[in-house]
Amino acid sequence: MSTAQKGARAHRAGATPYLYLAPAVVLFTLFVAAPIGYTAYLSMRRVKFSGLGLGKNSRTEIFAGLDNYRAAVADGEFWAGWLRVLGYAGLVLTLMLGLALVFALLLDSARVRLARFSRIAIFLPYAVPGVVATLLWGFLYLPSLSPIHATLRAFGVENVDLLDPSTVLFSMVNVAIWGGTGFNMLVLYTQLRAIPRDYYEAARIDGAGELAIALRVKVPMLAPALVLTTVFSIIATIQVFTEPMTLRPISNAVSSTWSPLMKVYTDAFINGDLYSAAATSLVIAVISVVPSLLFMRLVRRQAFGEER
């Protein structure tokens, strides 16, 4: 009797938290877990045709085991795509975050003028959707109508192709920096405003100038925000898709498998092979998580040292 009572009480106490959890669990299951599960299921299947593949019942879906994964990993173009994305990510991460940091520090410094206007002007490109931004820039990269080329010509630089294999990477990086700097700047700037002003006063009394305060007080105190923006940027650049996809129709230098995600798109929606696309996208997911985790591990002590 007593055990039953105890059980009932435990049940009553235990049900409430689960009830609160339910919406999150339901949504997570429906929109994250179930699709991932279905992707995993698809990734282990493939379609097999027989004969001409035109008659009735000449198409069957069969179990493929790990064949799709093997094919994805063995594809040289897939790894070449990763290499391109690595170069892209390296450039975007250093330039975009560097610029964002410089802008944030400048805006935070006491002497800046037109701070409100500059803040909005730097942030505004972030509000432009990636496809639109890339289209706009893409048209600017085309020679005959573009002010960029007109300017270059005015300085005697002729026949620069901003969309050929040697330049197209930088053209894409430019779009990403233009669109992404504002957001990161805002995150860093917000964090800067939260730092108590007393620290600066103390530093000033100790004889530090604006530059020294920026480098030796502000930047170290920005560490958590810098980690956050870096992780977000790593994930975003690894998944680069919009810029190359949108530039592809106007350039001869962007292949259909330029980035790993473009390969997934091509497999799924051009070649009609959802199964290979599913396998490749899971491989990408695993690979994307690794650098983020590595980075977090690397900086955990510096950034979150005080919390441990």
Partner 1 sequence: MRTKRLSAALSVLLAGALVAGCSSGAEEQTPQETGPVELTFWTWAPNMDKIAAVWNEAHPDIKVTVSKQAGGDEAAAKFLTAAKAGNAPDLVQAEYQMLPSFVAAEAVADIKADVEGVRGEFSDGIWSLVTLGTDAVYGLPQDSGPMMLYYRQDLFAKYGIAVPKTWDEYAAAARTVRAKDKSVYLGGFSTKDPGWFAGLSQQAGGQWWAITGEAWKVGINDEATKKVADFWGGLAKEGAVDTQAPWTPEWNAALNGGKLLTWASAVWGPGVLSSNAPDGKGKWAIAPLPQWSAGESYSGFWGGSSIAVSAGSKHRKAAAQFLSWLNTDAKAVDLLIKEAAIYPAAKSGQKLLTTAPEYFANQPDFWQQATTIAGTARGFTFGPNVNVAYGAYKDAFDKAVQQKSSFADALTSVQDATVADMKKSGFTLAG
The nearer residue to partner 1, 18 or 117, going by C-beta atoms, is 18
The nearer residue to partner 1, 196 or 272, going by C-beta atoms, is 272
The nearer residue to partner 1, 74 or 205, going by C-beta atoms, is 74
Residue reference for tokens 């620290």: 199
Least Å distance, CB 281 to partner 1, is 16
Please state, in angstroms and rounded to a whole number, the distance separating the CA atoms of residues 23 and 34.
Answer: 15
Question: Partners of 35 in the beta sheet?
Answer: none
Q: Is 243 exposed, middle or buried (0-12, 13-18, 19+ CB in 10 A)?
A: buried
Least Å distance, CB 296 to partner 1, is 25
Please state, in angstroms and rounded to a whole number, the distance separating the CA atoms of residues 144 and 155.
Answer: 16
Please state, in angstroms and rounded to a whole number, the distance separating the CA atoms of residues 188 and 103.
Answer: 9
DSSP notation for 26-78: HHHIIIIIHHHHHHHHHHTEEEEE-TTS-STT-EEEEE-TTHHHHHHHH-HHH
Residue reference for tokens 């002729």: 158
The nearer residue to partner 1, 26 or 287, going by C-beta atoms, is 26
Least Å distance, CB 270 to partner 1, is 5
User: Which backbone phi and psi does 81 adopt, to 5 degrees?
Assistant: -60, -45
Least Å distance, CB 104 to partner 1, is 36
Least Å distance, CB 156 to partner 1, is 18
Q: Which of 284, 122, 256 is nearest to 189 (CA)?
A: 122
Least Å distance, CB 132 to partner 1, is 15
The nearer residue to partner 1, 143 or 224, going by C-beta atoms, is 143
Please state, in angstroms and rounded to a whole number, the distance separating the CA atoms of residues 265 and 273.
Answer: 10
**CB-based contact 176:237 (threshold 8 Å):** yes
Least Å distance, CB 144 to partner 1, is 5
Which 3 state secondary structure label does DSSP give 25?
helix
Least Å distance, CB 22 to partner 1, is 8
Residues that bind partner 1 (CB under 8 A): 14, 18, 22, 25-26, 29-30, 33-34, 37, 47-54, 56, 58-59, 139, 142-145, 164-165, 249-257, 266, 268-272
The nearer residue to partner 1, 139 or 199, going by C-beta atoms, is 139
CA dihedral angle for residue 192, residue 172, residue 139, residue 244, rounded to 10 degrees = -120
DSSP notation for 169-227: HHHHHHHHHHHHHHHHHHHHHHHHHTS-THHHHHHHHTT--HHHHIIIIIHHHTHHHHH
The nearer residue to partner 1, 31 or 304, going by C-beta atoms, is 31
